Structure 1
């Protein structure tokens, strides 16, 4: 059973952003499933690196659209992105240091963060972009 499932309420009305959000949800679910089969360290190492790298691509998409279409809340949105990237980097560093890790805690953080970010922050961006003719 997935920890996070795509719901129509997650759609921001911009196809490229929705597609990338679906990919992020898929990555979180894959890690959750893997947590039942692999060691904590292997799962967290792969998940933290994958999430950080993919998030950088996704955040670049959003941030370029914000810049191109003069999104008035860009600064706060970008701060939110940086917080996520810092959390992923902290997880990677914990693995490198060999610290006791729990990938389920990180997966739960990712699922909560992503659903909250989409429903609260990205929805506003989607509304703004739709008003500018971006779908």
Structure 2
């Protein structure tokens, strides 16, 4: 299970709220896996992720453009790569169903990437936005 910790905070209420929503969705999948129901939960998780990446990344990118974030192009490229990963996992699900390896891939590829992204990239964006507001 993943927990919201101080090092995940960006200081932007909207972004932090959306990040917490994501962690909850991943934890719901992990909890279902622990109860032997991961296969049943993965469809809902993938549906959530497709919507989430579109909505959340749009919010982040808008904030970056508004604040003239200097590394916007790279950050957007990270987002596009992640969207591709989510789509690949969704396609794998559609073609092969909810397999145990697929559930593991969602946990590793999705949760791992996002937490790393928040800690390394999103905190830089938040710091830039805060600096712009002073």
Give the structure-1-normalised TM-score.
0.88
Contact 2:3 2:23 in 1 (8 A): yes
Structure-2 separation of matches of 1:53 and 1:87? 14
The structure in which a higher percent of residues are helix is 2
Aligned match for 1:26, one of 18, 21, 24: 24
Q: Which residue of 1 aligns with 2:36?
A: 37
Deviation at 1:52, TM superposition (A): 1.7
- How has the CA–CA distance of structure 1 residues 14 and 7 changed in structure 2, closer, same or farther, with 3 Å as cutoff? same
Aligned match for 1:48, one of 28, 46, 49: 46
Structure-1 separation of matches of 2:81 and 2:73? 13
- Higher RCO structure, 1 or 2 (CA under 8 Å, sep 6+): 1
Give the structure-2-normalised TM-score.
0.89
Contact 2:8 2:115 in 1 (8 A): yes
Q: Which runs of 5+ in 1 are unaligned?
A: none
Q: Which residue of 2 aligns with 1:11?
A: 9
CA RMSD of aligned residues (A): 1.7
Contact 2:50 2:87 in 1 (8 A): yes
Q: Which runs of 5+ in 2 are unaligned?
A: none
Tell me the secondary structure at the aligned position of residue 97 of structure 1: helix
How many residue pairs are counted as aligned between the two chains?
131
Contact 2:26 2:111 in 1 (8 A): yes
